[in-house]
Each structure stands twice: as C-alpha cells, then as structure tokens.
Amino acid sequence: MQVLMRSVTYWTARAMQEQGSRFYRAIGQALDAADAGNRRVIYAAWPDECWDFYLRGLILQAQEDGGADAG
C-alpha cells in the first residue's frame, strides 16, 4: 500500500475509469477526488484490484509519454 499511497493517483484512477467495469469506473472517480485518508480506505478495501489498476496506469502513462514500453 505504501507504493500506492506515494504514487500519483491520476493514472490509477484513469485506468479504472477507462478499463474498469461500471463499479471500478465509479471507484476511479472517487479515487481521483479523494484526499489521503480516503485514498487509504479505497486501497485497503480493494488492494489487489487497486494494484492491478496501478500497473495498468503505469502502462497508460508510458504510452502517453511517448510510447515507451512499460511492461
């Protein structure tokens, strides 16, 4: 969870909103608007899913930053 808490939430939230089910799109919106305490609650409630979307967000970021291979 420390990596998630230190990371920029934009890419994780964007991956959730673009690639997730309706439920995860809503979680992505909540994550994007959350303060640190509420981010911790979201990450603690769905740690595996948040990690998966964090990794997807890294790929999105790499693609947008010039097509670098993130995986």
Q: Give the pLDDT score at 66.
A: 83
Instruction: Quickly count: other Cβ atoms within 10 Å of residue 58's Cβ.
Output: 16
For residue 25, is it within any domain? yes
Domain count, the chain: 1
The helix (H) or strand (E) run that includes residue 5 is helix 2-6
For residues 70 and 37, the model is more confident at: 37
Q: Which domain holds residue 52?
A: 2-64
Question: What is the per-residue pLDDT across 3-61, written as a single tens digit (0 to 9) for each?
Answer: 999 999 999 999 999 999 999 999 999 999 999 999 999 999 999 999 999 999 999 99
For residue 33, is it within any domain? yes
For residue 57, is it within any domain? yes
